[in-house]
Each structure stands twice: as structure tokens, then as C-alpha cells.
């Protein structure tokens, strides 16, 4: 999803230059692999730090609570659903927001990837289309994105923003025939002893 970065920066720069918003809420690349961090671009000079890839899982709607200024927020599908709730609950006014919508292909699971390379130091995680590339000292491995998605992303049916003012890319195809309750079914099929152990180990 790094292909969205130029468009994100272009939109943010224009909004700040035209004084249509006071700040742009998004992400910047973290100093640790798979750990991007929320970032508030307050001026045009900050825009080049705005970043997007498969490690932008934090829900930025959580940073909109009771803000007073005009905010542009870079939001994927799940973020926008929470933004709608914030608006309904009067946590922020719709007219305060400029929603930069990001069609999402799913965020990757840092813990799962770290477990795959237990004992090895991961120095870089990159992406190429539908593949995730993990690199470290003496190794480089490519895995399909679908194999390392966060659990909630693997069953998500709202990849596209449900509300937006501008999109950074074309809408993606929403998944079909997703069983969102297969984990519950697996628990129901456990014996009482297995179920007890399952919840004890959580």
C-alpha cells in the first residue's frame, strides 16, 4: 500500500497550503520495523513525513476525541466506521473533519511475523504488491500478505472507507463469503476441558 504515499502527501500539502485544515492526522514511518506511529502534520514542512503501508493498524479515530481544530484524518475502512460513531456521539463535528479515505488491503500481524523468525532479528519489513518481504542479517523471505494478516483484517468486510471527502486510490473489491465466526465455532466444538484450558491460556 506504499503506492498511496505520494497521493496522501499531495492531498495533505494542498489542504495545509490552502488553510482548509489546521492539522493532518496520519502516520509516519517508525524507527523499529512494523511499528509506524501516529503523526500530526501541523505545517507543509511536516508533510514529507506522512507515510502509509501495511503497518498502519492503529485506529486514528481514537485521536479525534474532543479536538477543537479543523482536522484532516487519513482513514481506512475500520477507522471511518469509528469516525461515524464519534460524530453520532458528538465527540467531534463532521464539519471539523476532512476525511482522506484509504482503500485498505489489510494490516499485517507483527507478532505473527516475529514468531515466524524467532531467534532472528528482523531489520526490515517491506511490501511488494500482495507480498510482504522480511529481511534480517543473513536472511530474506517473501510471504503472501494473506498469510500474515491481523486476525481482524482477515475477516474484515469493510476494506473501503464508509465516509470520506477524498480517496487516495481506487476502491478495492470487498471480500465475499467471509466466515466471521469460525473461531467461535471452533470454541463451541471443544470439550469442556479444552474450552476451560483455552480461556485459561488467553
Provide the number of structural domains found in the chain: 1
**Is position 179 within any domain?**
yes
The pLDDT value recorded for residue 182 is: 65
pLDDT in tens, 74-125: 999 999 999 999 999 999 999 999 999 999 999 999 999 999 988 899 999 9
Is the residue at 126 inside a domain?
no
Rama region for 129: left / alpha / beta (φ>0; ψ in -120 to 50; rest)? left
- Residue 23 and residue 145: Cα distance in Å, rounded? 32
Q: What is the pLDDT of residue 155?
A: 84
For residue 157, the model assigns a pLDDT of: 86
Which residues are within 8 A (CB) of 197 and not within 5 positions of it... i.e. 6 or more apart? none
Full residue range of the structural domain in which residue 37 is found: 2-106+150-201
Please say if the pLDDT value at position 11 is more than 70. yes
Q: Which helix (H) or strand (E) holds 84?
A: helix 77-88
The model's pTM: 0.85
| Each residue's pLDDT tens digit, 20-33 | 999 999 999 999 99
Task: Kindly state whether residue 144 falls inside one of the protein's structural domains.
Answer: no
d(CA 163, CA 160): 9
Residue 23 near residue 39 (C-beta atoms within 8 A): no
The three three-digit cell numbers of residue 191, written as one number: 470439550
The answer to whether position 75 is within a domain reads: yes
* Alpha-carbon distance values, 177 to 119, 154, 169, 174 (Å): 37, 12, 25, 10
Amino acid at each position: 500500500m506504499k503506492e498511496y504515499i505520494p497521493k496522501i502527501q499531495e492531498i495533505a500539502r494542498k489542504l495545509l497550503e490552502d488553510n482548509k485544515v489546521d492539522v493532518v492526522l496520519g502516520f509516519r514511518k517508525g524507527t523499529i520495523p512494523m511499528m509506524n506511529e501516529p503523526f500530526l502534520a501541523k505545517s507543509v514542512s511536516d508533510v514529507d513525513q506522512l507515510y502509509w503501508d501495511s503497518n498502519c493498524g492503529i485506529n486514528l479515530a481514537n485521536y479525534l476525541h474532543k479536538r477543537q481544530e479543523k482536522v484532516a484524518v487519513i482513514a481506512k475502512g475500520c477507522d471511518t466506521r469509528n469516525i461515524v460513531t464519534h460524530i453520532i456521539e458528538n465527540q467531534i463535528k463532521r464539519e471539523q473533519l476532512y476525511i482522506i479515505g484509504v482503500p485498505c488491503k489489510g494490516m499485517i500481524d507483527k507478532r505473527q511475523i516475529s514468531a515466524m523468525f524467532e531467534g532472528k532479528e528482523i531489520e526490515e519489513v517491506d511490501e511488494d504488491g500482495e507480498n510482504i518481504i522480511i529481511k534480517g542479517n543473513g536472511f530474506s523471505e517473501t510471504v503472501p500478505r494473506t498469510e500474515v494478516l491481523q486476525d481482524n483484517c482477515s475477516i474484515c468486510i469493510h476494506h473501503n472507507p464508509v465516509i470520506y471527502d477524498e480517496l487516495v486510490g481506487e476502491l478495492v473489491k470487498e471480500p465475499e463469503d467471509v466466515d466471521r465466526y469460525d473461531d467461535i465455532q471452533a470454541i463451541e466444538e471443544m470439550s469442556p476441558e479444552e474450552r476451560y484450558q483455552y480461556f485459561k491460556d488467553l
